[in-house]
């Protein structure tokens, strides 16, 4: 039943309908030339009868373009990325594109691997959620002439449009939220500050402290990974300080959850004795534990916006043909909305 059954081709359809292969194309593509209603009918019937399904490979080869989008991201295990993937696919579907899912698994090497694969497949464009601070993948894609949109990060030396969360504002809001709850000693779980967005979140965070008249240096920072387990470890460090913080701002929700876990293990009651705020918005987490408040970030929307931007780029490039379009840098800022205390 699933032996290498040979697919029916356009020629067979043409033969059955008694027309030329070209005519079949005109019917299938609804153009570029008109077809007499009677002929069209015969062709459609032949297609139906044979179960003809045009070969996209041949079509793409001939057209010198595909409708495939590459999506490179670290790992859908992190619900944040899964949500981004979902957003990308939604838009791709709506606009007739298809998505190739590429996990970089937080490795530059694999990002580069997929850059090559996607170019080999002549992807129409790529959406890249960088795993490291290295811009090489973007450079390579630019070199290949493949349109690119970068998510959640700026890649120095690149012209590619970015979709960014407003990291500064997110950090600011997180601190503000905790300050309003009466906390004065707040610990931070960050990533290495070399990372632009981590740095921004911390900057925003400290700005809020300063504005409240608190010395930012009072806020202990633990720099580290990005996984749940990293958050747990970082929280242990923070809780052992004297005095320990009464609140924690975590770089992402995964680590916030890790912190929550650490708190539980240490016998702290959240949120009575310790408040925790994560930067992202993981619905399950938000719903599961009323103690966990999050600064909401529209990550589904990030995927959607990224895909939209990319497809606009792709299609513009297509229509503008060889007209020398001036490069343009487009920067989209997505703002975090106010912190939501999930009652």
Partner DNA sequence: ATGAAAGCGCTAACAG
Partner DNA sequence: CTGTTAGCGCTTTCAT
Contact footprint for DNA (CB under 7 A): 6-7, 9-11, 18-23, 25-26, 28-29, 32-36, 38-40, 54-55, 58-59, 61-64
Q: Cα separation of 303 and 169, whole Å?
A: 20
Q: Residue 112 CB, nearest distance to a second copy (Å)?
A: 13
Per partner kind, with CB cut-offs from 5 to 8 A, the member of a second copy, DNA, none near residue 18 is DNA
Q: Cα separation of 85 and 222, whole Å?
A: 30
- Considering just the CA atoms, what is the radius of gyration of the chain in Å? 26
Q: Cα separation of 111 and 172, whole Å?
A: 32
* Site track for a second copy across 181-220, x = CB under 8 A: ----------------------------------------
Q: Closer to a second copy at the Cβ: 14 or 102?
A: 102
The full length of the chain comes to 343
By CB under 8 A, the residues from 38 to 77 that bind a second copy are 51, 53-58, 60-61, 66, 68, 71, 75-77
Containing 273, the helix (H) or strand (E) segment is none
Per partner kind, with CB cut-offs from 5 to 8 A, the member of DNA, a second copy, none near residue 186 is none
Q: Residue 151 CB, nearest distance to a second copy (Å)?
A: 16
By CB under 8 A, the residues from 91 to 130 that bind a second copy are 93, 98-103, 110, 116-117, 119-122
Per partner kind, with CB cut-offs from 5 to 8 A, the member of a second copy, DNA, none near residue 219 is none
Per partner kind, with CB cut-offs from 5 to 8 A, the member of a second copy, DNA, none near residue 25 is DNA
Per partner kind, with CB cut-offs from 5 to 8 A, the member of a second copy, DNA, none near residue 319 is none
- Which residue matches tokens 């960050």? 190
Containing 238, the helix (H) or strand (E) segment is helix 228-239
Q: Residue 175 CB, nearest distance to a second copy (Å)?
A: 23
Buried-exposed string 158-174: b where 16+ CB fall within 10 A, e elsewhere: bebbbbbbbbbbbbbbb
Whether 330 and 309 have beta carbons less than 8 Å apart is answered as: yes
Q: Closer to a second copy at the Cβ: 139 or 193?
A: 139
Whether 249 and 189 have beta carbons less than 8 Å apart is answered as: yes
Q: Cα separation of 90 and 145, whole Å?
A: 25
Please give the backbone phi and psi of residue 190, each rounded to the nearest 5 degrees, phi first.
-120, 175
Q: Does 307 bind a second copy (CB under 8 A)?
A: no
Q: Residue 237 CB, nearest distance to DNA (Å)?
A: 53
Q: Three-class SS of residue 290?
A: coil
């Amino acid at each position: 039943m699933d032996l290498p059954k040979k697919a029916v081709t356009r020629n067979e359809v043409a033969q059955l309908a008694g027309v030329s292969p070209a005519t079949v194309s005109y019917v299938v593509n609804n153009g570029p030339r008109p077809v007499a209603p009677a002929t069209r009918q015969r062709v459609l019937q032949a297609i139906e009868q044979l179960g003809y399904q045009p070969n996209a490979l041949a079509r793409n080869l001939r057209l010198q373009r595909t409708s495939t989008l590459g999506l490179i991201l670290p790992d859908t295990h992190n619900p944040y990325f899964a949500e981004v993937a979902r957003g990308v696919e939604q838009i791709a579907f709506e606009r007739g594109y298809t998505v190739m899912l590429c996990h970089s698994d937080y490795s530059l090497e694999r990002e580069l691997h997929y850059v090559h694969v996607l170019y080999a497949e002549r992807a129409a464009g790529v959406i890249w959620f960088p795993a490291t601070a290295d811009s090489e993948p973007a450079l390579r894609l630019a070199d290949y002439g493949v349109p690119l949109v970068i998510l959640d990060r700026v890649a120095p030396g690149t012209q590619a449009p970015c979709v960014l969360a407003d990291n500064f504002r997110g950090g600011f809001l997180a601190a503000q939220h905790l300050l309003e709850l009466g906390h004065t000693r707040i610990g931070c779980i960050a990533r290495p500050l070399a990372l632009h967005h981590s740095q921004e979140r911390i900057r925003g965070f400290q700005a809020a402290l300063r504005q409240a008249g608190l010395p930012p240096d009072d806020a202990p920072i633990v720099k580290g990974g990005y996984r749940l387990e990293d958050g747990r470890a970082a929280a242990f460090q923070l809780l052992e300080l004297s005095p320990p913080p009464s609140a924690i701002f975590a770089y992402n929700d995964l680590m916030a959850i890790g912190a929550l876990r650490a708190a539980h293990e240490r016998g702290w009651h959240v949120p009575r004795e310790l408040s925790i705020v994560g930067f992202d918005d993981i619905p399950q987490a938000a719903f599961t534990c009323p103690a966990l408040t999050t600064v909401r970030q529209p990550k589904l929307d990030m995927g959607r916006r990224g895909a939209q931007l990319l497809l606009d780029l792709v299609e513009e490039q297509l229509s503008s043909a060889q007209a020398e379009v001036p490069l343009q840098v487009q920067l989209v800022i997505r703002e975090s909305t106010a912190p939501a205390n999930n009652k």
